[in-house]
Structure 1
Amino acid sequence: MDHSPDGPSVVDLESGRLRGAVEEGITVFRAVPYAAPPVGALRWRPAQPHPGWSGVRDATTDGPSTPQMYTEGGDPVLGGHGFPPFDDDCLTLNIWTPAADEGRRPVLLWIHGGGFVSGSGSLPIYSGDTFARDGDLVVVSINYRVGPLGYLYPGAECDGSQDGEGQARAGNFWLTDQLAALRWVHENIARFGGDPDTITVAGQSGGAISTAALAGHPEARRMVQRVILQSPPLGLHIPDPAEYLERTAAYLRFAGAKDTDELRELPWPRLIEAAGALFGHTTRWGYWPTPFLPVRDGVTLHEHPARTLLDEAAADIDVMIGWTREEANFGFALDERYAAATREQVVARIADVFEGDAGQVYDAYARTRPGARSVDVLMDLITDELFRVPGVELAEGRAAAGHPVWAYQFDLPTPVYDGRLAAAHCLELPFVFHNFDKWSHAPLVRGIDPAVRDGLADAMHRAWIAFVRTGDPNHGGLPTWRRYGAESRTTMRFDSVVTSVDDLAGHSRTLHEARTRP
Structure 2
Amino acid sequence: MTDDPSRRTIIKSGGVLAGAALLTGLPGGPAAQAAVPRAGGSSPVVDLPAGRLRGGVDGGLAVFKGVPYAAPPVGALRWRPAQPHPGWQGTRDATAFGPSAPQPYREGGDPVLGNHGAPPFDEDCLTLNVWTPAADGAKRPVMVWIHGGGFISGSGSLPNYSGETFARNGDLVVVTVNYRLGPLGYLYFGEDGAGGNFWLTDQLAALRWVRDNIAAFGGDPDQITLAGQSGGALSVAALAGARPAGRPLFKRAILQSPPLGLQIPTRAEALQRSATFLGILGVGNVAEARAVPWPQLIAATFEMFQRTGRWGYWSTPFLPVLDEATLERSPADLLLSGPGAAIDVLIGWTREEANFAFALNPTYTASTKEQVLARVRETFGGRAAEAYTAYEEARPGARPVDVLMDLIGDDLFRMPAIALAERRAARGRPVWAYQFDLPTPAHNGRLGAAHCLELPFAFDNFDKWTQAPFLAGLAPLVRDGLASTMHASWISFIRTGDPNPGPMPNWPRYERNSRTTMRLDSVTSAVDDLAGYWRRLHHSTGSR
TM-score calculated relative to the size of structure 1:
0.96
Partners of 1:217 and 1:301 within 8 A in 2? no
Extract unaligned runs of 5+ from structure 2: 1-34
Structure 1 CA distance, aligned partners of 2:54 and 2:181? 28
Structure 2 CA distance, aligned partners of 1:353 and 1:515? 8
* 1:70 aligned onto 2:105: yes
Q: Which amino acid aligns with 2:225?
A: T
Structure 2 equivalent of residue 452 of structure 1: 478
* 1:102 aligned onto 2:128: no
1:131-168 Cα shifts (integer Å, max 9, x gaps) = 0000000000000001000001112x2xxx32xxxxxx
Q: How many residues align?
A: 505
* 1:400 aligned onto 2:426: yes
* 1:201 aligned onto 2:236: no
State the Cα distance separating 1:8 from its structure 2 match: 4.7
1:113 equivalent among 148, 151, 155:
148
> The residue matched to 2:240 in structure 1 has which SS?
helix
Higher deviation after alignment, 352-361 or 324-333: 352-361
State the Cα distance separating 1:256 from its structure 2 match: 1.0
1:7-57 Cα shifts (integer Å, max 9, x gaps) = 451111111111100101011000000000000000000000000111111
Structure 1 CA distance, aligned partners of 2:66 and 2:541? 45
Partners of 2:73 and 2:123 within 8 A in 1? yes
Structure 1 CA distance, aligned partners of 2:182 and 2:339? 31
2:519 equivalent among 493, 496, 508:
493
- Greater relative contact order (Cα 8 A, min sep 6): structure 1 or 2? 2
Partners of 1:328 and 1:380 within 8 A in 2? yes
> The residue matched to 1:250 in structure 2 has which SS?
helix
Structure 1 equivalent of residue 184 of structure 2: 149
State the Cα distance separating 1:422 from its structure 2 match: 0.5
Moved over 6 A (4+): none
2:260 equivalent among 227, 234, 254:
234
Structure 2 equivalent of residue 61 of structure 1: 96
Structure 1 equivalent of residue 508 of structure 2: 482
Q: Which amino acid aligns with 2:94?
A: A
Structure 1 CA distance, aligned partners of 2:341 and 2:50? 35
1:128 equivalent among 154, 163, 166:
163
1:318 equivalent among 344, 348, 352:
344
Extract unaligned runs of 5+ from structure 1: 163-168
Structure 1 CA distance, aligned partners of 2:460 and 2:541? 37
> The residue matched to 2:104 in structure 1 has which SS?
coil
Partners of 2:241 and 2:338 within 8 A in 1? no
2:51 equivalent among 2, 16, 19:
16
State the Cα distance separating 1:514 from its structure 2 match: 3.5
Q: Which amino acid aligns with 1:89?
A: D
* 1:213 aligned onto 2:238: yes
Q: Which amino acid aligns with 1:85?
A: P
State the Cα distance separating 1:314 from its structure 2 match: 2.4
> The residue matched to 1:48 in structure 2 has which SS?
coil
State the Cα distance separating 1:353 from its structure 2 match: 1.7
Q: Which amino acid aligns with 1:348?
A: A
Structure 1 equivalent of residue 438 of structure 2: 412
Structure 2 CA distance, aligned partners of 1:516 and 1:347? 18
> The residue matched to 1:353 in structure 2 has which SS?
helix
Partners of 1:309 and 1:315 within 8 A in 2? yes
State the Cα distance separating 1:219 from its structure 2 match: 2.1
Partners of 2:242 and 2:339 within 8 A in 1? no
Structure 2 equivalent of residue 300 of structure 1: 326
* 1:189 aligned onto 2:214: yes
Structure 1 CA distance, aligned partners of 2:179 and 2:520? 31
Structure 1 equivalent of residue 290 of structure 2: 264
Partners of 1:354 and 1:514 within 8 A in 2? no
Partners of 2:113 and 2:468 within 8 A in 1? yes
> The residue matched to 1:357 in structure 2 has which SS?
helix
State the Cα distance separating 1:313 from its structure 2 match: 3.4
State the Cα distance separating 1:516 from its structure 2 match: 4.8
> The residue matched to 2:506 in structure 1 has which SS?
coil
Structure 2 equivalent of residue 25 of structure 1: 60
Structure 2 CA distance, aligned partners of 1:383 and 1:132? 32
Residues 32-47 of structure 1 aligned to structure 2 (within 5 Å): 32-47=67-82
Higher deviation after alignment, 35-44 or 311-320: 311-320
State the Cα distance separating 1:341 from its structure 2 match: 0.6
* Cα 1:245/1:516, change in 2 over 3 Å: farther
Identity %: 66
Structure 1 equivalent of residue 30 of structure 2: none
State the Cα distance separating 1:355 from its structure 2 match: 2.8
